[in-house]
Amino acid sequence: MTTTLQATLALGQHLWLDNLSRELMRSGQLARWIADGVQGITTNPAIFQKAISGGEGYADDLRRLRDSGVGAEARYESLAIADVQQACDALASLYTSSGGDAGWVSLEVSPWLAHDAAGTIDAATRLSAAVARPNLLIKIPSTPAGRQALTEATARGINVNMTLIFSLQQAVETAKAWATGARRWVAGGGDPARLYSVASVFLSRVDTVIDPLLDANGSDAALALRGRCAIAMAQVCYQRYLDLFVRGDHPATFGDLSRAGVRPQRLLWASTGTKNPAYSDTLYVDALIGPDTVNTVPEATLRAFADHGTAKPTLETDTQAAEAALVALKSFGIDMAAIGEQLQKDGLVAFEQAYDQILATV
């Protein structure tokens, strides 16, 4: 029987699992998810903090690392790298059979480096070499420094998941930074087929901030947009993605790289676990299914989608309404770009706190 996950895959969208732990792998649950249609895995400092602090499967390695005398950050990286290597191996056959379109695993650089382009590049190079798997994505926050690092890392053939994107402006700047790096990679003789990248656009946190502003406005037009703004933003991001990578055909966008055989950077929907209990628990999955996209989903949301989600091509449903929603927000005095910048700062703080907790744990 075709599962909901497999039906979504048939519509062109890859579902990734936003979780990783040794218990997940040793229990066989990760293998079951892959068999059901999961195409990749994302991690972040909060995910590893939860996994390592839980202790399942980490005690012996952690004892050995403490006895070795290496510092806390090196201990954490050793544990995380081992997990990511095992996950990459679990997805290796999918990576190979898809020709590199699927089977990716993300590992994030230290959030302390979010405003340090050179430090991020060094960390990306070091982590890539340590993991030593072709289906690894290095995760970098889409700050101005992070976008500089994206260009340089891509020019070196390092594949990147750009994370913590909270606005249309950040998504467009990320796409342009990646294309610049891809152009340098190809011009330097790099294999175009090796390049792969995703741009992770965060959703539920956007509605968490905007909904109270709509409530405060109180008009019927404002209240009608509650729970719809993040989806509208994602739909508009996808239209701009099509403009840059599919409909565009000049060097300022992607036409030259497409002809050279480079895959477009994919949009990835992140923060797709519903935070408002009044909304459907599969809201940010059901509403954004479309070709050549990725949705990375927390395990609870993935279970819900597998159980009662709907696999239909929804991403380009009524895009004019999505554009109109963003115009309406501006008329209400709600600045999506400014909100995106603040949410990115808040996201970095949350990852820094999780990272500090990891280091304290190890």
Give pLDDT tens digits for 128-156: 999 999 999 999 999 999 999 999 999 99
Task: Tell me if residue 50 is catalytic.
Answer: no
Min mean pLDDT across 35-49, 50-64, 296-310, 324-338 is at: 50-64
Catalytic residue of the set 139, 275, 330, 345: 139
pLDDT tens digit sequence for 256-281: 999 999 999 999 999 999 999 999 99
CB contact set of 104 (below 8 Å; sequence gap of 6+): 16, 39, 40, 41, 91, 95, 135, 136, 137, 159, 161, 196, 198
pLDDT, position 250: 67
Compute CA distances 133 → 105, 151, 157, 206, 278, whole Å.
10, 21, 13, 34, 42
What are the sequence ranges of the domains in the chain? Answer: 4-361
DSSP H or E stretch at residue 160: strand 160-165
What whole-number distance in Å separates Cα of residue 80 and Cα of residue 66?
Answer: 15
d(CA 22, CA 347): 25
More confident residue, 147 or 57: 147
Rounded mean pLDDT, 4-11 = 96
CA-nearest of 56, 54, 94, 48 to 75 is: 48
pTM of the predicted model over 0.85? yes
45, 89, 150 from 107: Cα distances, Å: 9, 14, 14
Q: H-helix or E-strand containing 331?
A: helix 319-331
CATH no. for 4-361 = 3.20.20.70
Closest to 301 measured CA to CA, from 275, 328, 263, 327: 275
Task: List, for residues 216-238, the tens digit of each pLDDT value.
Answer: 999 999 999 999 999 999 999 99
DSSP state of 24: H
Cα–Cα distance for residue pair 128/136, rounded to 1 Å: 7
Say how far apart CA 249 and CA 195 lie, in whole Å. Answer: 19
Q: Is residue 203 over pLDDT 90?
A: yes
The span from the CA of 38 to the CA of 25, in Å, is 14
d(CA 300, CA 287): 17
- Name the percent of the chain lying above pLDDT 90: 94
